[in-house]
Amino acid sequence: MYRLGEKNDFQVERAPFSKPVGVFWTAERQKQEAKRIFDLQEQPAFAYVEHMNFMNFRPFHHPQPIYINLVRDPVERVISWFYYKRTPWNSVKMFEITGKFQNRSHYFSVLCRFNVSIDRVILSRPFNTPAAIAKAKQNVERDYSVVGSWEDVNVTLTVLEHYIPRFFKGVTDLYYEPEVGLAFKKMNTNHWKPKISERIKRIMRANFTQEYDFYHFVKQRLYRQYFAIKKDMEL
């Protein structure tokens, strides 16, 4: 986003690592956050990045942002998250913020349950319930210009570039730019993550039925956008 900001002349801000993920904010807290975000804006075109649940800006008399997001295979994401939270560099960062390390059992515990929503467009819990997924789908259709997929990077880049050209013009070229593009810079490679067997993944997927319903819903929407672009290009 920073490189796109330089290329396409827009301001980029992001929440610091130390800021807790916004999950259950009261209406007053949401109002404060909306004002804080808009107060950061110094240029007409402005992009802001943060890990947070979906927030509706309309009740606070602010313009609704152009929302984007990316999803990932739910089980693969949970596995990645679980081991990322236990990497040395994450532990050091958290120590710098909190002044303490997690107890020893945290680093050797087994991934046995996951009961929080894993996608930021979902507003409610409990995890993997039809009501939460239905709300997430509604949010996507109403407020998200693009929800891409990390398993479909090229399709995602194409859709972003055509649906939001003011911000994403040239994103594919930047992504694949030799040596400096993200396609060639492996960030957050976790050498401590073991290989999880397909048997274990199948067991986990059986408990993620609603999450996979949402995941496939998003991918189908993404591909509809992609094929519409291709059709327009052929005309």
Task: Tell me the one-letter amino acid at 42.
Answer: E
H-assigned helices in the chain? 2-8, 27-39, 74-84, 88-98, 104-108, 130-143, 153-163, 165-168, 171-175, 198-205, 209-234
Which of 51, 61, 62, 106 is the catalytic position?
51
DSSP for residue 164 = S
CA angle 186, 68, 156 (to 5 degrees): 55
Residue with tokens 């995941």: 215
Task: Calculate the alpha carbon distances from 182 to 9, 12, 124, 170, 186 in Å.
Answer: 20, 18, 33, 13, 7
Q: Is the Cα torsion angle 209, 212, 216, 221 positive or negative in sign?
A: positive
- Number of Cβ within a 10 Å radius of residue 62: 14
* 106 flagged as catalytic: no
Of the CA atoms within 13 Å of residue 24, those in its CB half-sphere come to: 5
Bridge partners of residue 68, in order along the sequence: 146
Is the bond preceding 165 in cis, omega lying within 30 degrees of 0?
Answer: no
Catalytic residues: 51
